[in-house]
Amino acid sequence: MRNLFCLLVVLLATLGAQAQTVQVAMPLEGEDIITEIFGKNKDALMKDYLRISPVETKGFQEALMDYETDKQPWQAERLALLRMYNEEFTSLDEKKLNSLTKQMMNNDLEYSHLQMRYFRRMNKLLGANRAAKFFQLDSYFEQSTKSYIQNNLPFIKELEAGRLVYFREKPITRR
């Protein structure tokens, strides 16, 4: 339930919009964002945090590469949805917002399923404690990336503030 709530909060924050006509520049790569935020690439941060031993390095590298490869379509879809939102935010109506919101939720659900599959693998490789740390750190990276991107996107409420609202059959400006 907590994950669903967090997912909804992030989704709503991600789909935010401002009433402006300028397109917002979006970063292209999540890895670049991680490096910009943390000063190191994701692999180095993972190895440092999880204390991967030389004996575990090969197996961990393979599992990590498989995980990142399987995660690429999910990330590409999420980025495409964010780009779609970014390009169309001035003309989004209820139907488009409904569709984008559902697509983002489905995208996040697919990501959760991917994590569950790989948790089993990481658990066997690293043990429960470090597997949990791995996914905690991975989720932190994803949330940091989403927040970074969200900070560059317009926010829905601000878009709505400029629309006329009918209250008791009289048009008023929403504030």
- Is the pLDDT higher at 116 or at 41? 116
The reported pLDDT for the residue numbered 131 is: 95
pLDDT at 174 over 80: no
Confidence of residue 26 (pLDDT cuts 50, 70, 90): very low
Q: Quote the strand ranges of the chain, DSSP E.
A: 164-167, 170-173
If one counts the domains in the chain, the total is 1
* Residue-wise pLDDT tens digits, 75-127: 889 888 877 777 776 677 788 888 888 998 999 899 999 999 999 999 999 99
Average pLDDT of the segment spanning 156-161: 54
Domain that holds residue 126: 2-173
* Long-range Cβ contact pairs of 106-114 (< 8 A, separation 24 or more): 107/74, 107/77, 107/78, 107/81, 108/7, 108/10, 108/11, 110/74, 111/71, 111/74, 111/78, 111/142, 112/3, 114/67, 114/70, 114/71, 114/74
Q: What is the pTM of this model?
A: 0.65
**Position 46 pLDDT exceeds 50:** yes
Quick one: pLDDT band at residue 25, thresholds 50, 70, 90? very low
